[in-house]
Homo-oligomer: A and B are copies of this chain.
Amino acid sequence: MTATAESLFVTVALKSWDVWLTRLDKILDALTDEQLESPVVPGRNRAFYIYGHLIAVNDSMIPQLRLGDPLFPEFAETFIKQPDRAATIYPTTIQLRQSWKDLNRQLSELLPQLSPTAWLERHATVSEEDFAKEPHRNRLAVLLSRTSHLSYHLGQLQLREK
């Protein structure tokens, strides 16, 4: 297998990430502040919460890929650990939109820096001992998992009343 072939695996995975991120970005960008405040379907999470949740989960990729510290560590508490409407303070929609942009810029700089070999190295939440036995628990697995996480919530946002 040539170097080109090796890098093709990574190219395809990064392209898939980009495709779903772009689709999501388009939808989130089109939602007004009022629409963000409404539940996606009656009685369920607000689009606002899903927006913050996506920022929190994608931001957590930075430490999980061992690429540094998250930009918005406080989002994890509000948008992952707690359900919607449980926190006492939420960011404003302006902060949310800016955080999403800043994070996407940061990820678009960090992700292409990893070599094919680096993508096959362990992610942060598996020990070196376990990784020796389960080498599929690598950075690439994190990227694929987070890509499907994007499409999972995109599917939900698409169910909003038009």
Contacts and interface: CB of A to CB of B under 8 A. Distances in A.
A120 interface: yes
Contacts of A111: none
Interface residues of A, number: 40
Nearest to A20: B148
Contacts of A9: 9, 120, 140
Contacts of A11: 136
A5 B11 CA distance: 16
A4, A20, A136 pick with most chain B CB within 10 angstroms: A136
A154 B155 CA distance: 8
A9 B14 CA distance: 13
A8 B137 CA distance: 10
Contacts of A141: 12, 15-16
